Amino acid sequence: MKNFFKNLGPGVVTGASDDDPSGIATYSQAGAQFGFGFLWLALFQYPMMTAIQEMCARIGLVTGAGLGNAVRKQFSRKVVFPITTLLLIANTINIGVDIGAMALSTNLIFPQIPTFAIALCFTGLIIGAEIFIPYKKYVKILKYLAFSLFAYVLTSIIVGGSIDEIVLASVIPHVEFNSAFAMMFVAIFGTTISPYLFFWQTSEEAEEDVAKNKISDVGTGTPKISKREIKTMRLDVMIGMGFSQMIMWFIILTAAGTLHASGITNIATAEEAAKAIEPLVQTFPHSGQISKIIFALGIVGVGLLAIPVLAGSSAYALSDGFGWKQGLSKKFRQAKAFYLTIIVSTAIGLWIDFININPITALIYTAVINGVVAVPMLFVIMKIANNKKILHEKTNGKISNILGWFTFALMGISVAVMFAMFLFSK
């Protein structure tokens, strides 16, 4: 059992980071606005999400390099830089609103401290941790931070509800033909099957090759990968994505059973979002304050987990494009450009917080942006995953291709429908 957990790594970290503040806000809004209406997406998305992340992991494991490097081999630099630019824009916005959400949530507990001061502290902490904490220790920290999400599991169990209704809502698709539903559909897909996860998963598998001394550096040499290692990687991805979707299901269920049931159908503030967890501690004195603390710990925990992943994926993508030395396993002096990308992208993200926007609302719009950006990236990943010159005999099988192309088509159609509905609703 000890070796089993030891072998779990990039997939679990990726799955946990998927439930970032943007994910929590999006899933909470989905539950508040549509009740049980989006529960079915947790089960529906799981095979698609797993298939895409497995492709990314396989690309990194087999090539010993990042996704940008594979894009360059499949297409050219002319494709790498537009893809990287889209990723940088989406990631930077995501970092900004995640830091804002962390600051806003912490401010619920310490209202006497200005949110901008809290945001500055979190930014410094995140940058410092990525630069100065060794990779292996850092990954262990990231794994344990994922447990902060279980507050939603406990709350949903306490809240309860009609088992028959919940089960039916979890397996039978519910669809509404309006712009609000279309936007939320894209947002959920965007925050679940996110572009930054593609790059992070690929590069972290390459980092694992370096850690196991299969290659001397990311992007140098071709590692020898056994069938057992492929099997372990797939199990890691399946567990990580399963964890992500389970938490998504419980967050939607919690918001539906608390906020939606109480008539709150639009979450505009962190305080309203925190009310979803209040039943967990309703028998305690000052339950409102305790629920705020639990909510803040959850947001801060997944924020500390997700923001380094966001900044790291940007750094990996740029390093692949420009041929820089890269990797969280390296010291700052060994990969200066890589770490400077992390610092700059996190700092620009912080700057976004000083623009007068509501972080809770911005988190949902960020998910929509990710949903739009994911579409061209999915096409690129599918082409690479079927290229024998890059992956040799470890290209996609029939099931992976079916799930992958279906995901690409579904997300593409969903984005088109969303834009069409917004145009026709005006």
pLDDT of residue 1: 45
Q: Tell me the C-alpha distance between 271 and 104, whole Å.
A: 9
Domain holding 173, by residue range, is 2-425
Q: What is the mean pLDDT of residues 313-322?
A: 88
Mean predicted lDDT score pLDDT of the chain: 86
**Which of 144-148, 197-201, 311-315, 406-410 reaches the highest mean pLDDT?**
406-410
Can you list the alpha helix ranges (DSSP code H) found in 327-358? 336-352
Write the burial class of residue 134 (CB in 10 Å: 0-12 exposed, 13-18 middle, 19+ buried). exposed
Looking at the structure of the chain, the number of domains it has is 1
Neighbours of 137 (CB within 10 A): 10
Q: Are 43 and 192 a contacting pair, CB within 8 Å?
A: no
The DSSP output letter for 221 is S
Residue for token pair 């990996």: 316
Q: Which CATH number covers residue 115?
A: 1.20.1740.10
The proportion of the chain whose per-residue pLDDT surpasses 70, expressed as a percent, equals: 94
Q: Look at residue 19 and give its three-state secondary structure.
A: coil
Q: What is the mean pLDDT of residues 79-91?
A: 85
Q: What is the pTM of this model?
A: 0.89
